[in-house]
Amino acid sequence: MSLLDSEESTLFVDVLLPLPIPRHFTYRVPRVWNENMQTGIRVVVPFGSSKVLTGLIVAIHTQPPKNYQAKYLLEVLDDSPLVTLDQIKLFHWVADYYMCYPGEVFQVALPAGLKISSQSKVQLNPSFDDPELLNEKELIVQQTLQEKGALVYDEIAKIADVKSPYHIIKSMVGKGAILIYDELKDRYTPKVIRKIRLCQTWESNEKLLELIKILEDKPKQIAILLHYLRFIPLLRQPELNQKGLEKSSFSEAELSESSLKTLIKNQIFESFEVIISRFGQDAEDFEAQDFELNVSQQAAYQSILQEFQQKDVVLLHGITGSGKTEIYIKLIQEALANGDQVLYLLPEIALTTQIVIRLKRIFGEQVGIYHSKFSDNERVEVWKSIVEGKYPFVVGVRSSIFLPFSNLGLIIVDEEHEASFKQQDPAPRYHARDTCMVLAKNQGAKVLLGSATPSLETFYQAKEGKFGLVQLKERYGAAQLPTIQLIDTKAAGKMKQMKGGFSLDLIELLKENFNKGKQSLLFQNRRGYSPYLQCQDCDWIASCTQCDVSLTYHSKDQELRCHYCGYKEGLLRRCAACGSTQLKTMGYGTEKIEEELQLHLPDARIGRMDLDTTRSKTAFNSLIAEIQSGNIDVIVGTQMVAKGLDFEELSTVAIFDADKSINFPDFRAHERAFQLITQVAGRAGRRSEQGQVLIQTNQPSHRIFEFIQNNDFESLYSEEIQEREGYHYPPFSRLIKLIIKHVDAPIVEQAAREMGNALKLKFGHGRVLGPEKPLIERIRNQFVMEILIKMEKGLALAKFKTLLRDELDTIKATKIFKGVTVVVDVDPN
Ligand SMILES: [Zn+2]
Ligand SMILES: [Zn+2]
């Protein structure tokens, strides 16, 4: 008899807790649950003196823990595993590789709505409509939620008059009555649209004809009816009436709103609301799945399949506008037809754009979207649906690599060069592109990396033959790559050909394009009005009280803001140092560009696309819609315009200031500048007419512009890779960055120095750089020092990581360094 079958034996389970602790915790199983125990199911457990947490069973055995008395499990949340063994394996791999704790990975991986804890907040589930399911105590909780909107864990205990409310929460979640969330942003607000349909009495053909007669002499009302029938052909398909037509459809067709009201009042039409998904597409919006690949796409597609015969990872290097998406779609269709699951990873921003809508149209119900801008509840839905086998295809951001896949056949990483695939804070500081290779290996899946501007690391692997390499060097259709012109702003300034930050050529180009009725994009990677506010008398610059950075002036809100910590203050009238009133805004943010551009092009309609104008998803989508419908002539935008956007009428792109990204002190600066400028330039002329690009710089003879102008990635690559090899940077070495922080500058310096010395002894002097002060020495009142560890390829990493962990423990145990934080960043960006 196995121990699981025995009702007699005392069982213990090792539980992975969502906490930064090194070990699993062991709990005792109440005997009645012996038979329910399985790895991968969630349990609610007590932790410490008063905490309650949701953990994951990772092992079942009969050994009590040695050094503590095991507490009992409080609740079992699942009948069958919600997390697979493969996932648990991946959590541990990530923790090990990125030097954090498995519990931190688990915490990031599992949506808050799947974790009951003493931190939980609950809200009503808006789609719950079956109160008869609830017992007495649950009804009280439901009623209180109706009044208050939200309740925390302790309040539920009080209201229901129980010691621990986890049982009630579990039961109500199970009945679909409530949703759990952790943070305010996770609160679920369904997207609701208003629809109109014919009242049931008029549904039959007979009645309908009668109605048409009745309305005959009311032209406005009959127009509404005819509009409705055009989209909902009732005579042929009466069942369609149930679905109704969006109310906005009537106003878009400029039909009389008061007549529609009258029709509703007279009980001919009725109005109702439906909750739709964020990318809500009705079935009739389906796009034809059978599009043709052109000759070069077809060839690329075939080569990818061929490469996959030999290799697990293939890089698709295709220039901007070459039609990589169509190739992805073919591959996805094929994988799905084979019964495989598919994961399509996109950088954060690209996910709200046209490409996802398109995928949704093609794959419909098969596709689940996993996005951090979605509420937690939607993420819970995707997770559960995958467990149930409902979404064979997932489009998602980096954290979707932690979803419960069981038979992945293909992972696509689009825009693989994007830095946002690496998580910065908090731990785990994992890279989704690199981690998904481990995921793919565990599941026997293939990985396709796609980019117009691959990362040097990836391209190196392809050149070395470790990855397959497939290239697409032509644009799709008749489109050609844009021409790229450089403007020397220094020379132009001397010749009095600058108006503020605008060269006369730039103004001329935008004007011309506007007169032709075409759209332009003006790119500046800086939001706000101006990055500095400086005193003209003593040179003082307004800076953050908590960070060593200048405050950015935002003119719309008349505020100075820190982009690092969120600190803000009202606009100053006087210099804080000398008292002079001669304060001047220096440099250009998108707000200032928008303002000055309006003076140069008074008739143009300008739209600004940056973090400040697109905070909400609706704002972002309506801006996109405005651009698409031609209501905007010039878009002024930050790097969020660089990704995935495809506007037919956009023919001109201008880079306002290319210098900052080139001169950034980082070994990846040139690679990043090439990627950013090429991607932004790639928005121009994606359809038929050749686009044009203008770049303002004060160093036009810089080599990088030659590469950009010739769209010559290979030359950039060979030049940069030599430098990397010469200076032992990735891909020729592995980096681990240590970020040491404390509120006291001398303490952080001492801790960093001692750590640096100890590591130099253990690792060898050549492998440890620093400690050094970073570009910004103080953030959120913490002083920062950095140490960089460089290890040649081929070294046994595990040994070094153990040494490093020991050293971290030593620092933590040193009394004077109490309060010092050391962040470990493996493969830093
Ligand atoms: Zn001053
Ligand atoms: Zn700050």
Q: Phi and psi of 577, rounded to 5°?
A: -90, -60
Structure tokens at 282: 């009705």
- What is the CA(581)–ligand 1 centre distance, in A? 8
- Residue 153 CA to its chain's centroid (Å): 29
Confidence of residue 474 (pLDDT cuts 50, 70, 90): confident
Judge contact between 781 and 748, C-beta under 8 A: no
Buried-exposed string 288-297: b where 16+ CB fall within 10 A, e elsewhere? eeeeebeebb
Share of the chain above pLDDT 70, in %: 94
- What is the CA(574)–ligand 1 centre distance, in A? 8
Buried-exposed string 730-748: b where 16+ CB fall within 10 A, e elsewhere? bbbbbbbbbbbbbeeeebb
List CB-based neighbours of ion ligand 1 within 5 Å.
535, 537-538, 540, 575, 577-578, 580
Confidence of residue 817 (pLDDT cuts 50, 70, 90): very high
Of the ligands numbered here, which is closest to the C-alpha atom of 535? 1
Q: What's the whole-model pTM score? A: 0.85
Lowest mean pLDDT among 21-25, 119-123, 189-193: 189-193
Judge contact between 811 and 758, C-beta under 8 A: no
Is the predicted pLDDT of residue 382 greater than 50, yes or no?
yes
- What is the CA(570)–ligand 2 centre distance, in A? 14
Of the ligands numbered here, which is closest to the C-alpha atom of 546? 2
Is the predicted pLDDT of residue 530 greater than 50, yes or no?
yes
- What is the CA(88)–ligand 1 centre distance, in A? 59
Task: Please classify residue 49 by burial: count the beta carbons closer than 10 Å to its beta carbon, then call 0-12 exposed, 13-18 middle and 19+ buried.
Answer: exposed
Q: What is the mean pLDDT of residues 35-42?
A: 95
Q: What is the mean pLDDT of residues 403-414?
A: 96
Structure tokens at 68: 């503590």
Q: pLDDT tens, 580-591? A: 999 999 999 999
d(CA 806, CA 792): 21
Q: What is the mean pLDDT of residues 91-102?
A: 96
Of the ligands numbered here, which is closest to the C-alpha atom of 539? 1
Q: pLDDT tens, 249-267? A: 888 778 888 999 999 999 9
Q: What is the pLDDT of residue 284?
A: 44
* 251 DSSP 8-state letter: H
- What is the CA(388)–ligand 2 centre distance, in A? 46
Q: What is the mean pLDDT of residues 193-211?
A: 87
Q: pLDDT tens, 308-349? A: 999 999 999 998 888 899 999 999 999 999 999 999 999 876
The Cα-based distances of 236 to 102, 203, 205, 212, 767 in angstroms read: 58, 11, 9, 16, 76
d(CA 165, CA 117): 10
Q: What is the pLDDT of residue 180?
A: 84
Is the predicted pLDDT of residue 76 greater than 70, yes or no?
yes
Is the predicted pLDDT of residue 291 greater than 80, yes or no?
no
> Which comes out higher in pLDDT, residue 783 or 3?
783
Q: What is the mean pLDDT of residues 657-669?
A: 89
**Which is nearest to 170 in space by CA: 117, 243, 105?**
117
Is the predicted pLDDT of residue 6 greater than 90, yes or no?
no
d(CA 25, CA 59): 10
What is the identity of the amino acid at 93? W
- What is the CA(778)–ligand 2 centre distance, in A? 9
* 66 DSSP 8-state letter: S
- What is the CA(221)–ligand 2 centre distance, in A? 59
Radius of gyration of the chain (CA): 30
- What is the CA(656)–ligand 1 centre distance, in A? 29
Q: What is the mean pLDDT of residues 414-420?
A: 93
Helices (H), 338-421: 354-363, 376-387
Is the predicted pLDDT of residue 481 greater than 70, yes or no?
yes
Provide the phi-psi class of 276: left if phi over 0, else alpha when psi is between -120 and 50, else beta: beta
Q: pLDDT tens, 293-302? A: 889 999 999 9
Is the predicted pLDDT of residue 199 greater than 80, yes or no?
yes
Of the ligands numbered here, which is closest to the C-alpha atom of 561? 2
Judge contact between 40 and 83, C-beta under 8 A: yes
Is the predicted pLDDT of residue 407 greater than 60, yes or no?
yes
Of the ligands numbered here, which is closest to the C-alpha atom of 548? 2
Residue 237: in which H helix or E strand, if any?
Answer: none
Structure tokens at 497: 């050909």
- What is the CA(823)–ligand 2 centre distance, in A? 19
d(CA 767, CA 760): 7
Tell me the β-bridge partners of 503: 498
Q: What is the mean pLDDT of residues 418-436?
A: 94
Structure tokens at 248: 């906005």
Of the ligands numbered here, which is closest to the C-alpha atom of 779? 2
Q: What is the mean pLDDT of residues 611-627?
A: 81
Is the predicted pLDDT of residue 681 greater than 60, yes or no?
yes
- What is the CA(781)–ligand 2 centre distance, in A? 8
d(CA 291, CA 235): 32
Starting at the earlier edge strand, list the strands of the sheet with 408-414. 367-370, 393-396, 341-345, 408-414, 446-451, 313-318, 468-472
Of the ligands numbered here, which is closest to the C-alpha atom of 781? 2
Share of the chain above pLDDT 90, in %: 63
- What is the CA(346)–ligand 2 centre distance, in A? 30
Q: What is the pLDDT of residue 5?
A: 54
Is the predicted pLDDT of residue 701 greater than 70, yes or no?
yes
> Which comes out higher in pLDDT, residue 333 or 287?
333
Lowest mean pLDDT among 3-17, 473-487, 563-577: 3-17
Instruction: Please give the angle made by the CA atoms of 654, 659 and 664, to the nearest 5 degrees.
Output: 135
Lowest mean pLDDT among 54-58, 458-462, 509-513, 689-693: 689-693
Q: What is the DSSP string of 695-746?
A: EEES-TT-HHHHHHHTT-HHHHHHHHHHHHHHTT-TTSEEEEEEEEEESSHH
Of the ligands numbered here, which is closest to the C-alpha atom of 538? 1
Confidence of residue 374 (pLDDT cuts 50, 70, 90): low
Question: Count of alpha carbons within 13 Å of 584, Cβ hemisphere only?
Answer: 8
Q: What is the pLDDT of residue 702?
A: 94
User: Taken in order 280, 282, 284, 286, is the CA torsion positive or negative?
Assistant: positive
Is the predicted pLDDT of residue 352 greater than 90, yes or no?
no
Q: What is the mean pLDDT of residues 416-426?
A: 93
* 254 DSSP 8-state letter: T
Is the predicted pLDDT of residue 624 greater than 80, yes or no?
yes
Q: What is the pLDDT of residue 282?
A: 42
Residue with tokens 């979803």: 403
Q: What is the mean pLDDT of residues 279-286?
A: 47
- What is the CA(531)–ligand 1 centre distance, in A? 17
- What is the CA(563)–ligand 2 centre distance, in A? 7
Residue with tokens 């030097």: 99
Q: What is the pLDDT of residue 49?
A: 84
- What is the CA(818)–ligand 2 centre distance, in A? 24
- What is the CA(571)–ligand 1 centre distance, in A? 15
- What is the CA(700)–ligand 2 centre distance, in A? 34
Q: What is the mean pLDDT of residues 509-516?
A: 95
- What is the CA(550)–ligand 1 centre distance, in A? 15
- What is the CA(773)–ligand 1 centre distance, in A? 28
**Which is nearest to 458 in space by CA: 315, 318, 324?**
315
Q: What is the pLDDT of residue 377?
A: 75
Judge contact between 653 and 513, C-beta under 8 A: no
d(CA 610, CA 604): 19
Residue with tokens 């010691």: 163
Is the predicted pLDDT of residue 181 greater than 90, yes or no?
no
Q: What is the pLDDT of residue 185?
A: 54
Q: What is the mean pLDDT of residues 27-38?
A: 94
Confidence of residue 560 (pLDDT cuts 50, 70, 90): very high
Q: What is the pLDDT of residue 4?
A: 52
Is the predicted pLDDT of residue 244 greater than 60, yes or no?
yes
